[in-house]
Amino acid sequence: MPSTLRSWVRVAGVVLALALAAPGHAAGDAQRGKQIGYTCLGCHGIENYKNVYPTYSVPKLVGQNPAYLVAALKSYRGKQRSHGTMYAQASSLSDQDMEDVAAYLSLQPLPKTAAAVGTAPTKVTALCSACHGTNGVGIMAEYPTLAGQHTDYLMRALVEYQKGDRKNLIMQSFVTQLSAADIKSIADYYGAQRPELQTVLRRNWL
């Protein structure tokens, strides 16, 4: 069986298993999230804001899947992701707080029907699109949308999976197959997809 086909079969099996096993996602209270999530704006409410060290763009959140934001916050709280500031923030939130903050920060998730922009690199077709879509929109609520995300942030995230700073068995099984050139081409492709994720603007918070 060709390696690309094997990758698709493996991804399809994982997606099916997760779809059958995933619990129902409770909707958060966006208004409450607006009240308790103001500290998020210190980084996520400034366009093109950079993480200090290592230096990379803070991710855009408007249009993201809220269920994914909750999963990411729980990963920071549980130290499956290594980031001191995010650990401190996530550790201060209850599960319901996370649901509420995610509901506000994400606003309206990007549409899954958007047409892909450009030709997908081979690695996107072989490894990424089964979960993140060819157009960069996560096919399940727990999968992140990547369309229009900062390319340097996407590259940093993939490198962190390779280094083990982000612990996710599915992602780690795929990133081992990526070279530095692959990582850049994947990030450039998904960063160019439209409609795109947006920064939460402070004026919209008040």
Question: Tell me, what's the pLDDT at 201?
Answer: 75
Name the domain count of the chain. Answer: 1
Residue 89 carries which side chain, given as an amino acid letter? Q
Determine the distance from the C-alpha atom of residue 43 to the mean position of all C-alpha atoms in its chain, rounded to a whole number. 16
User: Which positions of the chain have pLDDT values less than 70?
Assistant: 1-26, 202-206
Residues of the domain holding 93: 3-204
The conformation of residue 126, written as its DSSP 8-state character, comes to I
Q: Find the CATH number of the domain harbouring 36.
A: 1.10.760.10
Question: Tell me, what's the pLDDT at 27?
Answer: 81
| Beta strands in 13-142, from DSSP E residues, in sequence order | 50-51, 56-57
Question: Tell me, what's the pLDDT at 19?
Answer: 40
Q: Model-level pTM greater than 0.75?
A: yes
User: What Rg, from alpha-carbon coordinates, does the chain have?
Assistant: 16
Question: Tell me, what's the pLDDT at 203?
Answer: 57
Determine the distance from the C-alpha atom of residue 132 to the mean position of all C-alpha atoms in its chain, rounded to a whole number. 9
Is the distance from CB of 70 to CB of 77 less than 8 angstroms?
Answer: no
